[in-house]
A and B are shown apart, each in its own frame.
Chain A
């Protein structure tokens, strides 16, 4: 029972971070139809930013997280404006190739600047775990889960309760009609990409201090984020959130009760099963075609 409870707590904490990674990608993937291969690199970018602000420049830890999010937003906006805007109307293969190139360049840049040596960030949280019965968890993980929940709720409200959200959803459903209704598609694309990038950078800034920071830290993360987006359905914030938790529970319980060697395989097997039963994902938004 103690083991079951620990697996459950681990899965909830992991699910919160997976959801955070998934919603950034689902926004971009769903609204812009851009396969954002730089998502993992923007995650690493956020982690290096908190390392620079909190560990090197000794700024306040919480302010450093916010700064990483702001810089992620600006960096993402710049990527959209410089790399993707000129490709408006280009086929998906061209865009994918450009994004793969951008990902390689970003990772190589991080390697050049920070070297391959792992970095770690000091935090204001205690290293003593919070112990509740048979379950223990570090305070920083509870903080990350709380921030992730706030961000998930915030983005849900942004998409569903604001004029910007209406414009984003309209662009997702039918970009041409949205443009005819007065939506500035270019601006929506830039904001969407910047917001998605900001979320990736925030996830990196939140998780970097828990793990260690390396230039390749985003590779597996990007793969998982893609899986979550596919699982939850394109462009759906709720879907990405549920997808994140489903993947985390599958991995944690699969590794615990079936085999740790196939931890990643179990998660992806689940995705295959979901796609066979429901090819559009668990919570796909309706899309107008034609």
Chain B
């Protein structure tokens, strides 16, 4: 059994999925172990509230269990799982839109304890277009390749590349003013302490 477990650790996702199709529970547990964290992160960064993210992660895995037979080895398990997760997320967003009255965004509970840097990141990401934001997040947080993102979003790979580039350039612009403001504030403070004129500090 120990040999079984050691062996299972080195097996690819795709082989594990096939094992699970064949009825192997350890294979599913291994897959769960590998993707629990990443999928939770996927939902957590895209929705408000950690409990909801946990529920949706669970929902994704339940969908995997129910639809295990539909998986074919031509697709990567990673892409397959994120595909399901995106469907779950879309359903959740539709539900939220239906439940909450129009024009009134739900408050952001997670930001209160979040550090400033995270706040800026969230705000900067909010300013991006939906597609660009999604591509950027899939690349940066889910670490998907361009081809996998293209597959998931049903876009040509070159479009993914150019949108990703645009998103990163835009994000640089959005993040920089925040950094600059904090830097400028810090610099002017130090200059004032040193007895230098304020105007020079601003000119930097």
Q: Do A and B come from one complex?
A: no
Name B's A-contacting residues (CB within 8 A).
none
